[in-house]
């Protein structure tokens, strides 16, 4: 049985997750754990739509604005920190609210990652060749021979996870299912119901465009200019983040400012669409609804978890 408890409010960028979470945290006298891979970093405030100090007032926020830009965090590193905070908050009689749009971070907390040795890249190349020649369903048939338990859980077109399963077995001579089963025996479970905030797509697109215009007025260009001046590796997540990447193109002379802003809006809309799809496919048992419906459902669940674990 899970020894720890939290509640997660996830969803696409721009849907209003922070406002809903703050209102709930104030009502329940609890805290918020940010689940956003970019809002971790100090200095990335405007472009990440980070809650300002006034909005944060009265509610403890964790894993928000807590990492120097030169550092690079992984999903597992975030998950380890988040678990420690959940333990701390539970001991104080609180059920923290995990809030954000980085689904892989939440998955790392709830499922963790098995400690699998590195994959042999030559093996991966061979499976890629087979995929190109015969298609993904053929790889799925192979996986049924290699790792039938994993194959039974995957759709025949889930190319990424099918490829992962095949490569793990060929590289380690041990199925991915076996690696995961061993990990589950030691992983600390968290009772964490997931709620996904939705919004009409047309309204969300309008909100995102207006938000980017507002960001530019608030000085986002200077923020990106500051980021560009930091000595960070080219593969740093911030340099590839949606919105920042497009404004950096302008600063590097690769586009006009108008084109960069337009491209940032397009990229952000597409990113939001990918997030909606991810949560739909990866959190099928989540309670998905609009803000008004989720407020009542989450409030009830917070009370149950908090007082049910007294």
pLDDT for 249-275, tens place per residue? 999 999 999 999 999 999 999 999 999
Query: Average pLDDT, stretch 47-55?
Result: 93
Q: Would you say the C-alpha torsion 227, 232, 235, 237 has a positive or negative sign?
A: negative
Segment 14-45, tens digit of pLDDT: 999 999 999 999 999 999 999 999 999 999 99
User: 121-186 has which CATH code?
Assistant: 1.10.20.140
Cα 260 from Cα 224, distance rounded (Å): 12
Is the predicted pLDDT of residue 243 greater than 90, yes or no?
Answer: yes
Cα 156 from Cα 129, distance rounded (Å): 17
Number of C-beta neighbours around residue 1 at 10 A: 4
In contact, 269 and 208? CB cutoff 8 Å: yes
pLDDT category, 101, cuts 50, 70, 90?
very high
Per-domain boundaries in the chain: 4-112+189-308, 121-186
Is the predicted pLDDT of residue 116 greater than 80, yes or no?
Answer: no
pLDDT of amino acid 269: 97
Look at phi and psi of residue 123 and say left if phi exceeds 0, alpha if psi is from -120 to 50, else beta.
alpha
Segment 139-166, tens digit of pLDDT: 999 999 999 999 998 888 888 889 989 9
Could you give the 3-state DSSP secondary structure of residue 71? Answer: coil
Cα 250 from Cα 243, distance rounded (Å): 11
Look at phi and psi of residue 135 and say left if phi exceeds 0, alpha if psi is from -120 to 50, else beta.
left
Cα 29 from Cα 22, distance rounded (Å): 10
* Topology match between the domains 4-112+189-308 and 121-186: no
In angstroms, the Cα distances linking 253 to 213, 245, 259 are: 21, 13, 11
Average pLDDT, the chain: 92
pLDDT of amino acid 48: 96
CATH topology of domain 4-112+189-308: Rossmann fold (3.40.50)
In contact, 192 and 98? CB cutoff 8 Å: yes
Cα 154 from Cα 91, distance rounded (Å): 38
In angstroms, the Cα distances linking 135 to 151, 153, 161, 207, 256 are: 16, 19, 14, 40, 41
Backbone angles phi, psi at 61, to 5 degrees: -115, 130
Query: Average pLDDT, stretch 303-308?
Result: 84
CA 240 to chain centre: 15
């Amino acid at each position: 049985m899970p020894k720890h408890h939290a509640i997660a409010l996830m969803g696409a960028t721009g849907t209003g997750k922070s406002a809903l979470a703050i209102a709930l945290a104030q009502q329940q006298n609890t805290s918020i754990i940010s689940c956003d891979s970019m809002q971790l970093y100090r200095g990335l405030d405007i472009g990440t739509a980070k809650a300002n100090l006034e909005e944060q007032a009265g509610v403890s926020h964790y894993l928000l604005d807590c990492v120097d830009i030169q550092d690079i965090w992984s999903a597992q590193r975030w998950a380890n920190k988040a678990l420690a905070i959940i333990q701390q908050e539970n001991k104080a009689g609180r059920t923290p609210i995990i809030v954000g749009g980085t689904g892989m971070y939440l998955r790392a907390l709830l499922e963790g990652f098995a400690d699998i040795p590195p994959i042999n890249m030559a093996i991966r190349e061979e499976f890629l060749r087979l995929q190109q020649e015969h298609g993904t369903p053929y790889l799925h048939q192979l996986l049924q021979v290699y790792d039938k338990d994993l194959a039974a859980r995957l759709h025949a077109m889930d190319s990424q996870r099918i490829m992962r399963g095949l490569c793990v077995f060929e590289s380690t001579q041990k199925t991915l299912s076996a690696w995961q089963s061993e990990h589950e025996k030691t992983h600390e479970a968290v009772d964490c119901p997931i709620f996904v905030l939705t919004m009409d797509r047309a309204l969300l697109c309008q909100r995102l465009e207006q938000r980017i215009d507002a960001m530019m007025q608030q000085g986002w260009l200077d923020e990106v200019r500051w980021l560009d001046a930091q000595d960070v590796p080219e593969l740093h997540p911030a340099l590839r983040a949606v919105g920042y990447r497009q404004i950096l193109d302008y600063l590097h002379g690769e586009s006009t400012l108008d084109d960069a802003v337009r491209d940032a809006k397009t990229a952000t809309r597409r990113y939001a669409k990918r997030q909606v799809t991810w949560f739909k496919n990866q959190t099928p048992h989540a309670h998905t609804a609009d803000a008004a419906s989720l407020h009542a459902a989450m409030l009830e669940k917070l009370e149950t978890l908090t007082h049910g674990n007294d």
